[in-house]
Amino acid sequence: MSIQETQVRQALEILGEGTRLDILGENADLLRYAESEITAQHSERRLRVRARINRDGRSVAGSLETLDANAVRGLADRLHSALSDLPAGPEAEAEPDADHSAPTPRIEVAASVLESDPAVRHRWFSTVRDGLGPAVKLGGAIRYDVLDRVVADSTGLFRAETLTKASIQAIAKQDGRSASVKLMHRDADRIPVDEIPGRLRDALRPLPTVEAHHGACRVLLKPQAANALIATYGYAVLGANAYATGRSAVSGRLGQKVAAELVNLSDDGCDPDGLPSGFDAEGNVRRRAPLLENGVLVGVVSDRRRAELTGGVPTGHAVPDGWRFGGDPVPSHLLLEAGESTDDELLAECGSGLVVNRLDYLRVLHPKETLVTGTTRDATYWAEDGELVGWHPQLRFTFRMEDVMNAIIGVGAQRERCDQTFMESVVVPSLLIDAGPLVLP
């Protein structure tokens, strides 16, 4: 842990009552490659100290790259001055206090990432490149992250954890076609790098290119594609503030069916199948939050401000100050329960339809209607009678996520650990979508 508790306590004392500190010590090491050549290697170290002071309904915030006492005093002077300039706010709504007694969940720290060595990343790169052979061009990145986190406040809360993460993205290109694999784990030694060339070669299978099909058909979303759907759906509709203010498509529908019966979705920051972390940006312990059970909406995720929607206890989904995806609580560690079908069985059930490996640039057009648009990418196939028969041209889908969630007729047995820029982890299997909501243009 690169963050000293004594320095944190000192900073809290300088900043005064009503202060919360959210501190990140970031260590990132990255190897990037394109066209089978190494293009960049990074090693980035930074300390981000975010302070927020809430007093008498007024709120100010600031950030620094140091816990040096003089620098903290400088920030404190500015924040205290700003507090005195702000008009008095309305009476603050009652929020539950930080639960100091709840123990901080213990997250396993991986020595394989802590002892990061550029040579290991080069070995990974060589393994994948050489395994693909010279006819296939490899692009992507290998990244190791060590994140020291502390959330502490002037009421005495102090939570600390170290999170390790290793990830590899490999995009293989051959003859104008591409396929991708992305694997990640808190422990680099648990990533099966040796399997990646085989998976990519399999995805680059030498099938003919078929003419674009049009209209509605069944669509098999492989885990990377299902990741985009489930993450975007969760982000758009399953946060407590969106629910409470009526901006969510499922507002007012707790206890009602909002998705197909096969859908069981939860958020659990401590589940090792995802990328676990123990507490959120307010220091709330992450708790398992059931969201959809047999397609019925049973919960949302909350922070302290919206804890009343989750039994008065925040689920541990407060986002950091200044987060570029908003200030409302949103899911962070989604897990979609596996089904019983193998991918071959899902393909057989798909019959004649589209198989999508990746949904890219999925963007919300209308949150209340869950209307989104995005494109397929990196290996889109056409299937006939349950067999892959050809590469299908990349295409754009515009659809209502709620319609797709209600049209899920098959759930794979094998889940993959994925991530998103706006979500720490998403664990999903393949999903078979019935003909209807996904229309090929």
Partner 1 sequence: VVLGLLPNDVQYGDIRVVRRTHEQVLVELDGPGEVNYDDSLGLGLRVLIGGRWGFAATHRLDPQGLDAVVSQAVGQARAAGGGGHVVLGAPVTTRDSWVSPLEVDPFAVALSTKLDLLSAAVKEASTAGPLVQQIEASMDFYRDEKVFANTEGALIEQTLTESGGGLMVNAGDGNDVQRRSFPQGVPRQIRGQRGDFALAGFEHVLSLGLVENAAKVAAEAVALLTAPQCPDEVTTLIAGGNQLAMVLHECAGHPMEADRALGTEASLAGGTYATPERRGTFRWGTPIVSAYADATIPGALGSFKYDDEGVPAQRTQLVKDGIFTGYMTSREFAGALGLESTGQARADGWQRLPLVRMTNICLEPGESSLEEMIAGTKRGILVDTNRGFSIDDQRMSFRFQTELGWEIRDGKVGRLLKNCTYQSDTPTFWGSLDALGGPDEWKVHGVPSCNKGEPLQVAHLGHGTVPGRFQNVQVGR
What torsion do the CA atoms of 328, 366, 397, 323 make, to the nearest 10 degrees?
-20
Give 78's Cβ-side CA count (13 Å radius): 12
> Whole-angstrom Cα distance, residue 427 to residue 416?
6
- Beta bridge mates, 183: 168
Distances (CA, A) of 363 to 232, 336, 376, 400: 8, 21, 13, 11
Give whichever of 51 and 407 is closer to partner 1, judged by the CB atom: 51
Question: Cβ 172 to partner 1, closest distance in Å?
Answer: 10
Query: Smaller CB distance to partner 1: residue 287 or 305?
Result: 305
> Cα 156 from chain centroid?
30
- 30 or 102, CB closer to partner 1? 30
- Tell me the three state secondary structure of residue 403: helix
Nearest CB to partner 1, comparing residues 335 and 404: 404
Minimum CB separation of residue 359 from partner 1 in Å reads: 10
User: Of 389, 323, 329, 399, which is closest to residue 353 (Cα–Cα)?
Assistant: 389
Integer-rounded Cα Rg, in Å, for the chain is 23
d(CA 243, CA 221): 27
Classify 435 as helix, strand or coil. Answer: coil
**Closer CB to partner 1, residue 22 or residue 268?**
22
| Residues β-bridged to residue 415 | 429
- Is residue 425 exposed (0-12), middle (13-18) or buried (19+ Cβ within 10 Å)? buried
Alpha-carbon span 423 to 440, nearest angstrom: 28
Distance of closest approach, residue 267 Cβ to partner 1, in angstroms: 19
Smaller CB distance to partner 1: residue 14 or 262? 14
Q: Cβ of residue 366: shortest distance to partner 1, in angstroms?
A: 6
Which C-beta is closer to partner 1: that of 287 or that of 304? 304
**Which helix (H) or strand (E) is 128 found in, with range?**
helix 118-132
- 3-state SS of 407-432 is CEEEEEEEEEEEEECCEEEEEEEEEE
Least separation in angstroms between residue 338's CB and partner 1 is 28
Whichever of 57 and 192 has its CB closer to partner 1, that residue is 57
Q: Which is nearer to partner 1, 121 or 287 (CB)?
A: 121
344-349 long-range contacts, CB within 8 A, separation 24+: 345/410, 346/220, 346/410, 346/412, 346/430, 346/432, 347/220, 347/383, 347/386, 347/387, 347/388, 348/386, 349/218, 349/386, 349/409, 349/410, 349/432
